[in-house]
Amino acid sequence: MKFMLIWRATDEGFANLGEIDFDQMLETVGRFNEELIEAGVLIAAEGLADPNEGVVVDFSSEPPVVTDGPYGETKELFNGFYLINVPTIEDAVEWAKRTPLSGPGFKTEIRRVPTIDEFPQDNEWIKKERAWREKTNQL
């Protein structure tokens, strides 16, 4: 099963990151990435740029409103993710407990990623997606 481990941080967590030597952080995260790779469970991993570099598209009105930066009142921001392939959610929890960005202000949310087989196979859009996944070796 695929699971996404989503890194979330509060303002306190982001402040704590500023106190960590960047090279040390790269080494710590790199060692964790290496463990995931050696265990054969890593599918993808990405961090995200500072939320102030992003934009928000709000669909509460027509046309949608685009604003700079993160949501207006955020308590936690999505900071990056790992996509892993492990047999159970318990295995995903064990990997999440080992993520290198931890401590006050940090959380890791775990979400299962459904497979294409869980959707109606007679649907034309699912058929098209399946064909694309087969063509790109994603099945």
Q: What is the pLDDT of residues 36-83, one digit of tens each?
A: 999 999 999 998 887 888 888 989 999 999 988 776 566 677 889 999
- Least confident stretch, 81-95, 100-114, 117-131: 100-114
The candidate with the shortest Cα–Cα distance to 47, out of 17, 80, 22, is 80
Answer whether residue 121 is part of any domain: no
Asked if 79 contacts 9 with a C-beta cutoff of 8 angstroms, the reply is: yes
Question: Can you give the pLDDT at residue 103?
Answer: 81
Which helix (DSSP H) or strand (DSSP E) does residue 97 occupy? helix 89-97
Question: Can you give the pLDDT at residue 36?
Answer: 97
Answer whether residue 58 is part of any domain: yes
What integer is the mean pLDDT of 81-97?
97
Question: Can you give the pLDDT at residue 73?
Answer: 60
Q: Which residues span the domain enclosing 11? A: 2-112
The candidate with the shortest Cα–Cα distance to 112, out of 138, 91, 137, 134, is 91
Answer whether residue 69 is part of any domain: yes
Q: How far apart are CA 82 and CA 97, in angstroms?
A: 13
pLDDT over 90, % of the chain: 59
The enclosing domain of 28 has a CATH number of 3.30.70.1060
Answer whether residue 51 is part of any domain: yes
Asked if 106 contacts 7 with a C-beta cutoff of 8 angstroms, the reply is: yes
The encoded tokens of residue 137 equal: 């070796």
Answer whether residue 136 is part of any domain: no
pTM higher than 0.75 for the full model? yes
How many domains are there within the chain? Answer: 1
Answer whether residue 42 is part of any domain: yes
Answer whether residue 135 is part of any domain: no
What integer is the mean pLDDT of 15-27?
82
